Copies of this chain bind each other. A is one copy, B any other.
Amino acid sequence: MSQPQLSPAASYVLRFAGDSGDGIQLQGQQFTAASALAGNDLATLPDFPAEIRAPTGTRYGVSAFQIQFGGERITTPGDTPDVLIAFNPAALVVNLRQLGPGALVVVDPETFTEQRLKRADLVTNPLEDGSLDAFQVVPVEMGRLTQEAVKPFGLGVKDSLRCKNFWALGLMLWMFDQPREPSLRWIERRFKSDQAMRDANLAALNAGHAYGETAELAHTLVQRPTPAAPLAAAEYRTVTGAEALALGLVAAGELADTEMLFCSYPITPASSVLHHLAGLEEVGISTFQAEDEIAAVCAALGASYAGKLGITSSSGPGVALKTEAIGLAVATELPMVIVNSQRAGPSTGMPTKTEQSDLYQAVYGRNADTPVPVIAARSPGDCFATAIEAVRIAVRHMTPVILLTDGYIANSSELWPIPDLDAFAPIDTTRPAAGDAPGSVFRRDPATQARIWASPGDPRFVHRVGGIEKDIGTGNISYEAANHQAMTDMRRDKVAKVADFVPDQTIEQGPARGLAVVAWGSTYGAVARAVRDCLRSGLNVAHIHLRHLNPLPKNLSELLAGFDAILVPELNNGQLATLLRDRLGVSVAQLNKVSGQPFVVAEIVRAISEHAQPRMKEVKP
């Protein structure tokens, strides 16, 4: 077998796979940290089963982590891995499908035993039955080598093998010539109190790295140092969507000079936002774990009434339970942010898989005429700015706001230029100023229809609110027909007026004619890459990505009028398509995928190719 090697490239796609107990996710995070420090741009995709610790060696128990990294702009974790590290037969077979031809496949031959093959529902051994012919197989006894490396520290077999992930990490760090320091530091911290495990993991990491260097083996790997990406001058860190969302919320609290109460009930994949915020009191937010989603949204609303901004967070099924209380927030005109980390449904569905299918619920999913502003984040890092925008709308317009993100964004990470908070405008609230005279809290700002955010403790604005229809002026209960019409119109206008504050919709890339690919949320990375490729191949296509879904940007209708056709790719059955037809009366072509998996770039390229025309040479003036 010839010496296996990767053809040199600007970026590579690497996939780690093993049992959910093998520490695959940690391994991936460590590699991510290293490649970030190496100055690569990157995007990751953790892909783990619903089971906490699925039985070892089974197909459904496989946990995987994929990263694309390199010296160019990276917006997706990559369609087809260049390198797969599979810790066992199951990890190999379930990931084969996605590999590109000639991909490097690193396996531990000693794990391909009768019994392990059976666990993976394999009748024949892939190492022998030719199913790997299309790839470059690199057999490495990772298990045995790890055990040898850690022997000095007197661990049992089980504990010794738990160091395997760091051994393999070491090998990959060598292969792509990336720094070990972050991982070494991490191990030091993590195993402070357990010297044996610390030394063992350190040894494993170094041994894996050394294995790459030492040339005396049959088929050495060829090292592929990855060039640093051409990054704009800034400080960078990696961030997951859940992390960025949490950071954005606290940043918004600081910008609005308001403290926050984050009320939530755990649910996958939303819990991670709660976890990130728990313990961040020092930046002005406290977290309350409620008994259920209804209590969570209600406590958040109570907090908003009492003068701290209430925030609640869940996933589709949990948000369903919150809809009645969201109606109360609309009726009482109180600010609140509802974060929905979307997952695959209906019902329990596939909690660890991603989807964009709660847009209907967000925009239309309440009883009565109960409009609520809806915005969505496009990428892990974008969750930061989106969270700030959500808070801004909530307190400026005195309305609940729904922020949509999803499991993919929440869990995956990217290289993130650390924002400068001074670059964000402070957030205005409708709180009465110290000097203001007493009066009705239902005086409205004509620009927003927002009422005054007065709270208990303030003797000037002692008042009562409730879910029964209110007199538009006094706030007293009113069953008057004309008043209900006026209030209904006011609620409609209030949300419509948010658009007055939304910047004009821009085109991400491409000309203002031809095919418009109109997308929202987490498909950003794949669409951006697909449109880039299609533009390079001379197609007449542009990428428009919406953050504001309700209301839509005021200029969107006009902007789209310039295009011949509109393509709407979504991880649902056409929910943004509905919204565009409803609000703009346009007709659109749909690209819908509802498999629990994000788009791969190729899928979008294919759809664009079907709908876009080649670009005419343009005559330069």
Contact = CB atoms under 8 A, between A and B. Distances in A.
8 contacts: A320-B324, A321-B324, A344-B368, A361-B366, A369-B572, A481-B597, A492-B573, A581-B581
A49 B479 contact: yes
Contacts of A319: 367
Contacts of A367: 315-317, 319-320, 342, 345-346, 357-358, 361, 365
Contacts of A597: 481
B321 A317 contact: no
A467 interface: yes
B360 A365 contact: yes
Interface stretch (A180-188, A303-311, A327-335, A541-549): A327-335
A348 B435 CA distance: 35
- Looking at chain A, what size class is its interface with the partner chain? 35 or more
A582 interface: yes
B327 A320 contact: yes
A484 interface: yes
A587 interface: yes
Contacts of A479: 49-50, 60, 350, 352-353, 596
A432 to B, nearest CB: 25
Contacts of A489: 594
Contacts of A369: 345-346, 357, 572-573, 575, 594
Interface in A458-493: 466-469, 479, 481-482, 484-485, 488-489, 491-492
A349 interface: yes
A595 interface: yes
B345 A327 contact: yes
A130 interface: no
A479 B323 CA distance: 28
Contact of A596 (B344, B466, B484, B585): B484
Contacts of A320: 323-324, 327, 366-367
Contacts of A491: 346
Contacts of A366: 320, 346, 360-361, 365
Interface in A260-285: none
A582 B582 contact: yes
A595 B481 contact: yes
A368 B344 CA distance: 7
A596 to B, nearest CB: 5
A578 interface: yes
A2 interface: no
Contacts of A485: 593-595
A223 interface: no
Contact of A346 (B321, B330, B357): B330
The 10 closest A-B pairs by CB, nearest first: A345-B368, A316-B367, A347-B467, A348-B467, A481-B595, A331-B347, A364-B364, A360-B364, A346-B370, A365-B365
Nearest to A363: B364
A355 interface: yes
A316 B370 CA distance: 11
A275 to B, nearest CB: 22
Contact of A327 (B332, B347, B593): B347
A348 B46 CA distance: 43
Interface string A541-580: 0000000000000000000000000000000110100100
A245 to B, nearest CB: 19
Given A327-B347, A347-B327, A349-B467, A595 B484 contact: yes
Contacts of A596: 469, 479, 481, 484
Contacts of A581: 581-582, 585
- Specify which of A315, A467, A469, A575 lies most central, judged by the most chain B CB atoms within 10 Å of its CB: A469
A368 B361 CA distance: 8
A353 B484 contact: yes
Contacts of A350: 468-469, 479, 484
A491 to B, nearest CB: 7
A55 to B, nearest CB: 14
Contacts of A466: 348
Contacts of A348: 328, 331, 466-468
B573 A578 contact: no
A332 B347 CA distance: 9
A364 B595 CA distance: 20
Nearest to A293: B324
A323 to B, nearest CB: 4
Nearest to A344: B484
Contact of A323 (B355, B365, B370, B582): B365
A351 to B, nearest CB: 8
Given A348-B466, A360-B366, 18 more contacts: A316-B368, A317-B327, A317-B367, A328-B346, A328-B348, A331-B346, A331-B348, A344-B469, A357-B367, A358-B367, A361-B364, A481-B596, A484-B594, A485-B593, A488-B594, A581-B581, A581-B585, A585-B587
Contact of A349 (B321, B352, B469, B587): B469
